[in-house]
Amino acid sequence: MLYDRARIFVAAGAGGDGCLSFRREAHVPRGGPDGGDGGHGGAVVVQCDPALRDLQAFRRRQHFRAQRGGHGSGALRHGRNGAELVVHVPPGTQVLTEAGDVHDLTRPQQRVRAARGGAGGRGNKHFATATRQAPRFAERGLPGEEAWLELRLKLLADVGLIGLPNAGKSSLLARLTRATPKIADYPFTTLEPVLGTLEGAERQLIVADIPGLIEGASEGAGLGHDFLAHVERTQLLIHVLDLAPLDGSDPLTNHATIERELALHDPQLASRPRILALSKSDLVAAETVAARTATWRTRLGGDVPVFVTSSVTGEGLSELSAQLLRSVPVELPDEVPGEPELAEHLTFRPAPGRGFRVERDGDGTFRVLGEGIDRLLARHDLDNEEALAHVEARLRQIGVIRALEAQGFQAGDGVEIAGVPFELDP
């Protein structure tokens, strides 16, 4: 069974704590602080691995945690950095974040950082000044990022076989390639995409049988809603049309149904190169086959080649194979079909949310909120008087006190900074 969807939890490693240490060597009466820094936590990276074919491995494991950074120690010894954790996914995987970002991994070794490791804390050596020569505090390491990711696989096939159930797609795939799909005389025999390799004299093509396309597939009917995405990245589509439907339906109506569902799913699919394969010619009289073939060639024009095929007798298969090898470009396209083109120039702007804001509750309590403020308080032990004095000095430097005063704050008013009650005297 093909597993093309998964949901995983990734957690980067936390940073190591900085060290509180002083030199204590013989004959060095005033050695001073020598606490080393903590190491950075390991990041979680999602990487494209060409050896994989689906997302089955994530059924057994859904949680991934990177290594945390080591703590600093005396003599200015820094903690080790946490090892990076690499999550391997098959080519064609989309990584969707909770923020709505989408990352496409289509080429071997392509990677995206899913969670950033926490920064390591600084040792007390960094806080020594001319007036504070023996700082008795150090920074704590910050926690790593955590996130739930959704993984979606879109097969990277060169050619996609589309058509109504029981149109003969599986039989055609089995004759064109060495694939061994399940073949039976009832609809929805194929319940998952099947890949096969078409061997040419100097190249190979990957052919995919896309199952379950019926009327309403683009809206979730049948099996098509789950597998329509797999045709988005094919470079060429073979529309397999049954010349002798078992239910007596009209081939013209059947053809229009599939084309309409593809266009509703993704308008770009309507312009994708096509080949029409009229299947099961061995079940129809030769005169009828010739008449219907001429009708389809007139209807579709010269842009869509029409081939008469039979998986039983082999009719038309060699001609169809030759056409596929000629039609699909040898070189990979610069952009994956069906994916938006990236901008030639990227603009980088400061990340939002790094500042702070001041709010006042109905009871008169002032609250200071912001990502940078949270990071500042998370780095220090507020039970340590020296660390608390350092935090208050930093709050004054970055303008928190001025912002509180602008909102009417006075000595004695209640104030919470990143959820921690403070007593501030402007």
| Phi, psi torsion values for 376, nearest 5 degrees | -60, -45
Those residues whose C-beta lies under 8 Å from the C-beta of residue 397, and which sit 6 or more positions away, are none
Q: Where in the chain is the domain with CATH 2.70.210.12?
A: 1-153
Q: Are 199 and 151 within 8 A, CB to CB?
A: no
The residue ranges of the chain whose pLDDT is under 70 are: 1-2, 179-192, 212-229, 330-354, 425-426
* CATH class as words, domain 357-422: alpha beta
C-alpha 205/C-alpha 199 separation (Å) is: 7
Q: What is the dihedral of CA 412, 416, 421, 426, to 10 degrees?
A: -40
**pLDDT tens per residue, range 17-29:** 999 999 887 777 7
Q: Kindly report, as residue ranges, where domains of CATH 3.30.300.350 are found in the chain.
A: 357-422
- Specify the CATH number of the domain 159-327: 3.40.50.300
**pLDDT for res 117:** 95
- pLDDT for 52: 81
Residues in contact with 36: Cβ distance below 8 Å, sequence separation at least 6, in sequence order:
18, 19, 21, 72, 73, 74, 75, 76, 77, 78, 79, 123, 125
The pLDDT assigned to 251 comes to: 86
| DSSP H or E segment with residue 6 | strand 5-11
**pLDDT on residue 420:** 84
> Where does residue 57 rank: exposed (0-12), middle (13-18), buried (19+ CB within 10 A)?
middle
Q: What is the pTM of this model?
A: 0.70
Quickly tell me which residue has 């029981």 as its tokens: 166
Return the pLDDT at 213: 64
How many C-beta atoms surround the C-beta of residue 335 within 10 A? 12
pLDDT in tens, 263-311: 887 777 778 899 999 998 988 899 999 999 999 999 988 889 999 999 8
For tokens 């600084």, the residue is 122
Its sign, for the CA torsion 5, 162, 259, 333, is: positive
Residue appearing with tokens 């909102």: 407
Give which of 79, 78, 62, 59 is closest to 70, Cα–Cα.
79
Domain with CATH 3.40.50.300 in the chain: 159-327
b/e map 84-99, b = 16+ CB within 10 Å:
bbebebbbbbbbeeee
Is domain 1-153 in CATH 1.10.1740.10, yes or no? Answer: no
Sequence-distant (6+) residues with CB within 8 A of 142 are: 14, 15, 41, 118, 119, 121, 375, 378, 379
Q: State the chain's mean pLDDT as an integer.
A: 83
**Distance (Å, whole) CA 425 – CA 415:** 11
Q: Token digits for 195?
A: 């890949």
The dihedral sign for the CA sequence 200, 206, 212, 214: negative
Six-digit token pair at 168? 């003969």
